[in-house]
Amino acid sequence: MVALKRIGVMSMAKLEAVIMAVVGLLMGLFGALGAMMPGSEAGLLGMGLGIFAVVALPIGYAIFGFISGAIGAAIYNVFAGFIGGIRLELVGK
């Protein structure tokens, strides 16, 4: 058994930012596709907002992911110092 005693705050923040940027991109793509559906009443404005969503949502999600990842790692490090961290059982080949 090994214990995860500490998480690198910047490492976790960057990882969470990338994961959330991908989620934001998917959400933006779904929004853009919805705005461009035939019969959609959104028209040109909807297409513009859809394109904006493909750019803005990944950026916004990445910023939120970076901040929440850093805060989460910092909180984990504080509590892991008191209770010993997460115990992991690793198997090698």
Total Cβ atoms within 10 A of residue 68: 15
- b/e code 23-35 from CB counts within 10 Å (16+ = b): ebbebbeebbeeb
Asked, for residue 80, whether it belongs to a domain, the answer is yes
Cβ pair 3, 82 in contact under 8 A = no
Q: Which residues contact 61 (CB under 8 A, 6 or more apart)?
A: 20, 21, 23, 24, 27
Higher pLDDT, 55 or 39: 55
Cβ pair 24, 59 in contact under 8 A = yes
Check residue 58 and give its pLDDT.
Answer: 95
Check residue 86 and give its pLDDT.
Answer: 93
Cβ pair 18, 61 in contact under 8 A = no
Average pLDDT, the chain: 89
Q: What is the mean pLDDT of residues 16-44?
A: 83
Check residue 40 and give its pLDDT.
Answer: 59
Check residue 64 and give its pLDDT.
Answer: 98
Asked, for residue 18, whether it belongs to a domain, the answer is yes
Percent of the chain with pLDDT over 70: 90
**Confidence band (pLDDT; 50, 70, 90) for 14?**
very high
Asked, for residue 93, whether it belongs to a domain, the answer is no
Asked, for residue 60, whether it belongs to a domain, the answer is yes
- pTM for this model (two decimals): 0.82
Give the type of residue at 72: G
Number of domains in the chain: 1
Q: What is the mean pLDDT of residues 34-52?
A: 71
Q: Which structural domain, as residue segments, surrounds residue 63?
A: 2-88
Phi, psi of 54 (to 5 degrees): -65, -30
